[in-house]
Amino acid sequence: MILSLDFSSDCGILFVLRVRETKEETKNIMNYDDIKWTSYKQQQDELAREAELANHDKHIFVCNLIIAACAGASVVLIGILFPLAPN
């Protein structure tokens, strides 16, 4: 009797071995004390909070740009108008 293994049978053997390993791994992992259980609403609230913080950061950045532009414009106006003032 001659045993011949081609590519498809090798993949099948590897698949069976991997399934057996994962079943054993899941049996070892079944410690539910370490799992952080969260609800869908909790996850959505957290994502909404992160999105709101990102929007606040963008808003603060734009406000800082506007303040910097106004400060720069006032310095330029002072630089232009100061020499024109009558002595």
**Cα(58)–Cα(54) distance, integer angstroms:** 6
More confident position, 52 or 3 = 52
Range of the domain at 70: 41-87
Residue 2 has what pLDDT? 47
Number of domains in the chain: 1
- The whole-number pLDDT of residue 1 equals 41
pTM of the model: 0.49
Percent of the chain with pLDDT over 90: 41
Asked whether residue 5 is assigned to any structural domain, the reply reads: no
φ, ψ of residue 37 in degrees (nearest 5) = -85, 125
**Within-domain flag for 64:** yes
In a domain, 54, yes or no: yes
Whether 47 maps to a domain, the answer reads yes
| 25-63 per-position pLDDT tens digit | 666 666 666 666 778 888 899 999 999 999 999 999 999
Q: Is residue 29 part of a domain?
A: no
User: What does the block give as tokens for 10?
Assistant: 């090798």
